[in-house]
Amino acid sequence: MKFKKKTASILVINCGSSSLKYKIIRMPDGDELVWGEAERVGIKTQSASIVTHSVLGKKRMIEASLLDHSAALKKVLELIADDSKKNKDIKFDIFAHRYVHPGMFFTRPTKVNQAVLTKLKETLPLAAIHNPIVYKLLEFCHHEYSSINQFVVFDTTFHKTIPPEFAVYALPLKVIKKYGIRKIGFHGISHRYVMEEVCKFLNRARSTQKIISCHLGTGGSSVCAISDGRSVNTSMGFTPLEGLMMNTRSGDIDPGVIFYIMFKERFSPEETENILNNKSGILGVFNTSSDLRDVIKDITTNKKAKMAFDMYVRRVRAYISFYSLILKKPDILIFTDSLGVGSPILRQSICKNMGFLSLSIDEDKNVEYGNGISDISVSKSETKILVIPTNEEIMIAREAYKELIKNDTGY
């Protein structure tokens, strides 16, 4: 269908491993008509799944059975359809999805058609948690809403600037070249957004700043080193499994442990991958839940909770220390996403006794943080510590809108 209007209402769909964030954003102005999030999707937690749904600023919360992301999207589309009956402005013309790992097939935002879907199907093993989820939703939208243009925006683009010394693995060169193996990096949409917004907030040119961005989510988490506005290293690697301990991912692990378990248990590669991606991390240590927020609730009474929390904190601190060395002291440390923004105790624990890296958090500012963007460092701190909610959706909408204009001669 030719899209001939100069404005577009874009339904942005942003799937995490256990969440589905969404917004209807009217472009090019960036006005948010609808926003929401389905939480605790398809996972074992102590609380019910819930959808927070806001229309023109009016918010409500709906408990729902969200066994998987398909059920979550169908619920969201049902809510939007009901809203449209009451207000004709609540509608969308375009789908735009965040896609985690495009392999070597795509290097820029792309319009979805059957050929693109065929290529993306080959990437499913590369991000074993995220890619299959998003691919299923892409197929659903492609078949059930065939008249609506659909775009994918990739999480990897921001990390293309990582230099070879950090991107190349110590594997045989023939293997690396044959399969295109290198550090790919993820959460690039989020790291780019918070980097740009924090520099605006501090009135500093991003081309002059050395930044460490901590994207700490209830699903995936990563740390990124940024210099002169470009990613120079990040904790996730060829897949999102490398790096920090996450809700169900192991993060960094001795590969020998994997081979040992496979040998002892006679596990297949598929069974082993399932353990590393879906049964490890916080869930593996804490067992009761995969959500760090549940861990924090039980931290004073449950030894497993304390162990899981301490392990998580120490890995974040290790990456901050490593990236401080790479950057030769950062100018800015950023906390973002659900845990980075929502947990004062997590921020406090990560920054504790980090004065040797010029990181000094103001305890009162940290505890009193409410919303928006805020500087929580002590007034004389050499390195600024900021909390900022990420907004991957507006970045996705901007990129999809650019591609829409390029792809449609009606403009």
Give the residue numbers marked as catalytic. Answer: 155
Residue 224's identity, in one-letter code, is C
**Neighbour-count burial for 65-104, b at 16+ CB within 10 Å, e otherwise:** ebeebbbbbebbbebbeebeeeeeebebbbbbbbbbbbbe
The neighbouring-strand residues paired with 13 are: 22, 97
Cis link prior to 28 (omega < 30° from 0)?
Answer: yes
Instruction: For Cα atoms 88, 90, 92, give the angle at the middle one, nearest 5 degrees.
Output: 110
Q: Are 211 and 226 in contact (CB under 8 A)?
A: yes
- Helix/strand/coil for 240: coil
* Conformation bin of residue 194: beta by default, left when phi > 0, alpha when psi is -120 to 50: alpha
Single out the residue of 390, 392, 391, 398 nearest to residue 151, CA to CA: 398
Q: Tell me the C-alpha to C-alpha distance, in Å, between residue 299 and each of 99, 247, 341.
A: 34, 16, 19
Dihedral of alpha carbons 97, 103, 109, 115, sign:
negative
